[in-house]
Chains A and B, each alone.
Chain A
Amino acid sequence: MRRRNLAAVLIAILAVSCGLKPGSGSTALFPKTGEVSGWIQNGETRTFEAGNLWQYNDGDADRYIQAGAEKLLTADYRYQGKTDAVADIYVMKNAEGAKTILESESEVGSQAVQVGMAGRLYGTSVTFRQGRYFVRLVAYEEAPQVSQALVDLGRAIEARLR
């Protein structure tokens, strides 16, 4: 029991020393089911360290790593029981890395949206940055209100990243 407690303390110290939010190891940054109207978290949260990021998005991973990605946390969601979506949180070395990724993506077809320090809405996708976090939300289908629902989900994530 004492060893387990010691391990928990060490993990907490490690998380803080790495600059992550306390308890942000894998799940704490994602809103739970019911926390945002209409959204349920669907399945477990997965984590990919920079060295394994290619297993998640081979071919795309390099640009995140070049911008300083340290890890990716990803979780699946479902809106109103039918529209699947994914939330990706890239933990960068610093805020500049998150800004680099956000600004490297074309703004064609998007509009600025008030999520995080800067955000964009592209119909069925929202991207934003908050501190050293870059977040991408993608819905797999067009559906009524899905754009606003993604913004709402994004704001709930933003609140956890502050």
Chain B
Amino acid sequence: MNDRATSRRNLLKACLAAPWQAAAFQGKSKVVIARDPQLRGSGSGVDSTRLLKTLDRAMQSFCDADSPIEAWKRVVKPGEVVGLKVNCLAGRGISTSVPLVEALCERLQQAGVQRNHIVIWDRLNRDLESAGYRVASHPDRIRCIGNDTSGYEDELSIYGNAGSLLSATLTRVCDVVINLPVLKDHGIAGVTMALKNLFGAIHNPNKYHVNVGDPYVADVYMLPPIRQKVRLHICDAITAQYEGGPSYMPQWSWPYNGLIVAQDPVALDYTGWQIIEQKRSEKGMQTLKALRREPAYIATAADAQHRLGTNDPRRIERVEV
């Protein structure tokens, strides 16, 4: 069996597992934004019941399904090990929220994924814990592990200007990854969402912040295990941040109270970038371009060398539910 045949088989499997992918490649990339102004109820915490409903609305709309379970059955298949790539770098203030991951785990299990086939992962155990997750490695339960525990591959993966060791959780444990970034500003790269969240899958993300992360963010995403395994992106926009990221800055955060779902990471990032620019404008702040941190890597990810998706607004179907 040569590599090309294996690659074709993987592509076929991915398309069968996610029939809605076909629509994305035929024309427009669908980006669903689901919001609930009452997501926080009367307090500052998230209402988990409302969050589950918001997630369900987003998934049903995205998959054009009659029920949330049906939607999830189109995304994942029983037997697959599903990785949930969270973003916990900034601690509790602006990380992938625990209630969102709990809601996802509930729906995944209802869709037939065994609990010991769900792995929540990020860069460091410490990051996970600081965001409110409990690190757990029991093989019979939902696992939650940092790359510092699971380790990295010994050999470099290389594409373009990127050369990195990949997380063993990504390469050896997960069959499928659901990417769960956060909607936020980034002081160097402009914004950080779907594409850049995979910096948490490599050992040397600190090497790739020169030139506003361009082309490094796109190049890292091209590394085969990332490109082949990441199947869906659900951006946590419950709390978003328009300045001062990626660290948590409460003064520049706001309750967007939403989730953004896409299969196309470039379309999601383009859409999220516009949301951040709009908020910056409302606050009287300069555009990211004026500050010389326009996220050029988004366009690079869409170019002929990468083809990771589209950043053309005419080819993005933005659906708000």
Contact = CB atoms under 8 A, between A and B. Distances in A.
Contacts of A103: none
Interface stretch (B12-20, B149-157, B185-193, B270-278): B185-193
B174 interface: no
A123 B243 contact: no
Given A106-B243, A106-B285, A63 B251 contact: no
A84 B92 contact: yes
Q: Which 3 A-B pairs have the closest CB atoms?
A: A122-B251, A54-B206, A59-B246
Interface residues of A, number: 25
A123 B244 CA distance: 15
Chain B interface bracket (under 10, 10 to 19, 20 to 34, 35 or more): 20 to 34
Nearest to B209: A62
Interface class of chain B by DSSP: loop
Contact of B188 (A59, A105, A141, A142): A59
Contacts of A110: 251
The listed residue with most B CB atoms (<10 A of its CB), out of A58, A138, A139, is A58
B186 A123 contact: no
Contact of B248 (A55, A61, A62, A138): A138
A154 to B, nearest CB: 15
B200 to A, nearest CB: 9
A128 B252 CA distance: 17
Nearest to A106: B243
Given A106-B285, A108-B285, A61 B250 contact: no
Interface in B209-250: 209, 243-250
B249 A54 contact: no
B44 interface: yes
Nearest to A124: B250
6 contacts: A57-B89, A60-B245, A62-B188, A86-B91, A109-B283, A125-B251
Given A108-B284, A108-B285, A109-B251, A55 B246 contact: no
B188 A124 contact: no
Nearest to A104: B187
B93 interface: yes
A102 B205 CA distance: 26
